[in-house]
Structure 1
Amino acid sequence: MHSCCARKIIVWSLCLIFYLSHSILVCGSSPPKHLCRQDQRDALWEFKSEFPLSGMAADEKTQTWRNNSDCCSWDGITCDPKTGNVAELNLWGSSLNGSLRSSSGLFKLQYLHSLNLGSNNLAGILPDFIGDLKYLRVLRLSGCNLFGKLPSSLGNLSDLTVLELDGNGFTGELPVSLGNLKQLTKLLVASSKLSGNFHHALLNLTELTAINLVSNQLEGTLPSNMSSLSKLEYFDIGSNLFSGFVPSSLFMIPSLIHLKLERNHFNSLLEIGNFSSPSKLQTLSLGGNRLSGPIRIYIKTSRSLVSRPLFWDTLRDEVDFSTFLHLKSLTFLDISTLNTRSIVDMSLFSHFESLSLLSLSRNTVKFSSTLHLVSPIGSLALASCNISEFPKFLRTQTSLFNLDISQNQIKGKYQRGYGVSQD
């Protein structure tokens, strides 16, 4: 009896094994199902049809798209593996030529997390419907020949972390609604035609690590409480029309590494922070402003913890450039055209070990024959610095690849490997 039951169990077990093996083989040999949803493929195909073939069709990723294939396998497309929704659309540099319509199939891709259409010719305005892509986290539209005002609907993209709109022709002000983008880490709208002020609403974006608004037409003064951007690492507002004070709160942001304020109209008191802890600042660019009032640097000493002001008064020739010694991490320093009659002593920079770019042009500079700079300077600008002899310290600058000593009064003849010998 027991042997009979045992035989039945063995037979049933063998049958089960055979069935499972057959099922696996059948499933493994069947063609894979398309991941892409029909509505998503239709939207992509509609978007493709909005851009006629150009003479550079070979560069267009959309030319590899086939309507009878899985759209999740198309170039530039990434889908959510669970839902089949298009999550990423990356057609950077794909030679798209035509404007974005309000009725574009693009705006039917409601589940996009990342959109990159940079380096295409999308000449036209950016439609308000961009704000309907509410799941966007990354929006990159740099170098697209877009123009007109930035739509306020950008403020609807509450999950956005990267907004990259460099190299377009946007006009008008930055929308106040950008202050709603509480997750934003990068705001990049350089090389455009923006005007208006630096909105206080931007100070609500406390997750920002990078702001680049260089080469626009922004004006007015900066807010006094810039330190609310406590995670900021990169801040570039060069080549604008900002004026007034440079707020000391900028220098009090502990994470700040690159600060570029050159070629503006800053024309009053400059207060360089409170150095209660070592500064991380590597880039400081102040050149081409009108800093003509008293300049203060507040230093909190480690013993007394008392702030003491050091005054630069460019009107009284009392600029103390040694205050930069407190910025130990500097690799890039531009203090050209400071509108001062004070003399910059090059010996100051013998204390820096990491400087790779130094610009002192259009200031009066002096240096001794024994000067030695230990930092590996690659670019040095000393144009219009009232120099009358060739700087001998350059002989030891083995990393130097760019040198500007134009518009000086240097005399003598060149001697190979030695510099200049005087007649």
Structure 2
Amino acid sequence: MHSCCARKIIVWILCLIFSLSHSILVCGSSPPKHLCRQDQRDALWEFKSEFPLSGMAADEKTQTWRNNSDCCSWDGITCDPKTGNVAELNLWGSSLNGPLRSSSGLFKLQYLQSLNLGSNNLAGILPDSIGDLKYLRVLGLSGCNLFGKLPSSLGNLSDLTVLELDGNGFTGELPVSIRNLKQLTKLLIASSKLSGNFHQALLNLTELTAINLVSNQLEGTLPSNMSTFSKLEYFNVGSNLFSGSVPSSLFMIPSLTYLNLERNHFNSLLEIGNISSPSKLQTLILGGNRLSGPIPGFISKLVELSSLDLSFWDTLRGDVDFSIFLHLKSLASLDISTLNTRSIVDMSLFSHFESLSILSLSRNTVKFSSTLHLVSPIGSLAVASCNISEFPKFLRTQTSLFNLDISQNQINTSVVMESPRISVCRLFSEFIYWF
């Protein structure tokens, strides 16, 4: 009897505990009805009023904002549930049209941790007031038509981890104060008009995992001690004006997976010492420079490569040992066009690559066997100006081919292609039919 009562009491207590804990969870997960602080709402409303309605007002997130409602429920707004301060403002692609003023209500949101105004027309300079948002961790202003010099006040954002300013018209050098951004992991200022050298101040930012400065007007040489970026995974400075030697220290960064130095003025031999640990490089793009001399054999050790571009390498009419590519079993894209070599590229070299789909061999002498068979279906093939006199038979059955450049050769016969996908074909004086 006592045992039965005891069990009932235990069951009752457990049910009570469960009921109370459930109530606590429900209450704790329900935000207060008016989370937003009045000063935060006023600042947001002031910011909204700085941008007149455009013809695309329907796309503006701010059109859903209502001054008599909780601003933490507005589109693009995330608040800190404990304080009611606006922590995130994301108005990407919201058709904002007008300059960002130094007195903007935006800069009264002093507890912002993430700001994304990308893909708006904020034509004008980036005001010094941006440095007042000292708690920012993420700053996204890509594609905003901003111009002028980057303000030195960016150095005040000591908590910043992501700086994304791609697709603007910024001029001049990176501010020296950028050295203060010790927490920065991503520096993305592609497709702008930055000039000057690769700033030595960047070497202080040892937490960087990604640097993208492609398509600017940067010049001079890269620092020799690039291995300071010990956590770097992505490095892209293509389409600039850099010259001199490619620092061998870049290849000593164990975490690096993507390296793009194309279309600069790098010259001389590429000399790389012993790579102490297995490289993780998956993309290596060196094409369109002034590199000369033998293609270094160390490339055969980059066994994780899926994309390799050595185009316009000047071997000074020397020989090329194409067997170095046989070790790169994961290659999906290879560009070795315009090598200025007397060696003949034998297509059978690529017959056992299982992933190769993009191959550029133009302006070399290329040899095709009549029995050639490739394991991997080719999607894009460029063999322009390769002294080809007969249309390669293996191409007739490449059903995955969508791009073919076989122009400037000596092919005089008509050709029937069986690829239903081919969309770009360059033959100039030759004839081609496909179905």
**How is 1:186-335 mapped onto 2 (pairs within 5 angstroms)?**
186-272=186-272, 274-298=274-298, 314-335=315-336
**How is 1:57-72 mapped onto 2 (pairs within 5 angstroms)?**
57-72=57-72
Per the alignment, residue 363 of structure 2 pairs with: 362
Report if aligned partners of 1:246, 1:270 keep a CA contact under 8 Å in 2: yes
Per the alignment, residue 349 of structure 2 pairs with: 348
SS at match of 1:413: coil
Per the alignment, residue 141 of structure 1 pairs with: 141
Per the alignment, residue 98 of structure 1 pairs with: 98
Per the alignment, residue 17 of structure 1 pairs with: none
Matched, 1:41 2:41: yes
Distance 1:381 1:300, change over 3 A: closer
- 1:348 is displaced (CA, Å) by 3.4
Distance 1:280 1:76, change over 3 A: same
Q: In structure 1, what is the Cα distance between the partners aligned to 2:281 and 2:398?
A: 23
Report which stretch shifted further, 76-85 or 242-251. 242-251
Q: Deviations over 1:170-213 (max 9, x none)?
A: 11112232232222222111111111111232223222222221
Matched, 1:89 2:92: no
Report if aligned partners of 1:271, 1:298 keep a CA contact under 8 Å in 2: no
> In structure 2, what residue type is equivalent to 1:196?
G
Q: In structure 2, what is the Cα distance between the partners aligned to 1:39 and 1:154?
A: 25
Q: In structure 1, what is the Cα distance between the partners aligned to 2:407 and 2:260?
A: 24
Per the alignment, residue 402 of structure 2 pairs with: 401
Structure with more of its chain in strand, by fraction:
1
Matched, 1:383 2:354: no
Report if aligned partners of 2:184, 2:207 keep a CA contact under 8 Å in 1: yes
- 1:270 is displaced (CA, Å) by 1.2
- 1:126 is displaced (CA, Å) by 0.7
Q: In structure 2, what is the Cα distance between the partners aligned to 1:316 and 1:75?
A: 62
> In structure 2, what residue type is equivalent to 1:186?
K
Report which stretch shifted further, 252-261 or 44-53. 252-261
Report which stretch shifted further, 198-207 or 132-141. 198-207
- 1:299 is displaced (CA, Å) by 7.9
Report if aligned partners of 2:386, 2:409 keep a CA contact under 8 Å in 1: yes
* Aligned length in residues: 387
Q: In structure 2, what is the Cα distance between the partners aligned to 1:279 and 1:352?
A: 20
**How is 1:104-123 mapped onto 2 (pairs within 5 angstroms)?**
104-123=104-123
Report if aligned partners of 2:142, 2:166 keep a CA contact under 8 Å in 1: yes
Report which stretch shifted further, 43-52 or 340-349. 340-349
> In structure 1, what residue type is equivalent to 2:335?
D
Report if aligned partners of 2:300, 2:327 keep a CA contact under 8 Å in 1: no
SS at match of 2:211: strand
Identical positions, percent: 90
Q: Deviations over 1:217-237 (max 9, x none)?
A: 111111222222222222222
Per the alignment, residue 157 of structure 1 pairs with: 157
TM-score by length of 1: 0.82
- 1:58 is displaced (CA, Å) by 0.6
Q: In structure 1, what is the Cα distance between the partners aligned to 2:172 and 2:345?
A: 40
Report if aligned partners of 1:284, 1:334 keep a CA contact under 8 Å in 2: no
> In structure 1, what residue type is equivalent to 2:85?
N
